Structures are given as C-alpha cells and as structure tokens.
Amino acid sequence: MLAGFAAQIAAKLTLRRSFGIVAANRGIKVGGPYRIIRHPMYAGYLLTHVGFLLFNPSLWNSSIYLIGFGFQLVRILAEERVLFQDTAYRVFAAQTRYRLRRGVF
C-alpha cells in the first residue's frame, strides 16, 4: 500500500497544477514517473487497492474494488481520447507504450 501511495504522490508532484478532476489537456508531462508509464497515478491507486485487498480479503471488498477499477479504466480511456488530439501526447504515447504496467496495459 505504501508503494502505491508513493507512486500517487510522485505522479501528483510531477503534474503540479496540471492535476484535475475532469479530463482536459493541461499540458503534457513526460518526466518523473511518466517516463515509465502513461498513468502512474492510476497505477498507484491500483497498487494501493491491491495492497488493501491482500490485508482485507473478502468478496465484498473485491467486488467494490473491481467496480471502482472498471470506472478507472473508463476514465483512463476518456482522458486519452482528449489527450490524443494533441500531437505531443501522440508522440509521448508512442514512446511510452503502456498505460498502467509495462507489458500489460
């Protein structure tokens, strides 16, 4: 859980004032954890939630997490629809192939 929390903080510190709730192009960030994957903040959320599930395994927790993760995948794809309109993001996406974890998504 701590590793996930650290990833979230690193991503937010890299974004600084570009962080927002609604999908929008607030500038393309390519440094820090964004050199490795395109959505390190969401990867941090994923890691934190998996850690929570390992310490608190239950069908209820797993169900709630899977629903939340589904919504995060929808959000990632919605953000990318907006960001892919920017040539700089298309170049970034070509260089940084994976969204959440290398070799997976």
Residue ranges of E strands in the chain: none
The pLDDT of residue 21 is 65
What is the CB neighbour count within 10 angstroms for residue 90?
13
> pLDDT tens digit string along 13-49?
998 877 776 667 777 888 999 999 999 999 999 999 9
In this structure, are residues 83 and 28 in contact, taking their beta carbons and an 8 Å threshold?
A: yes
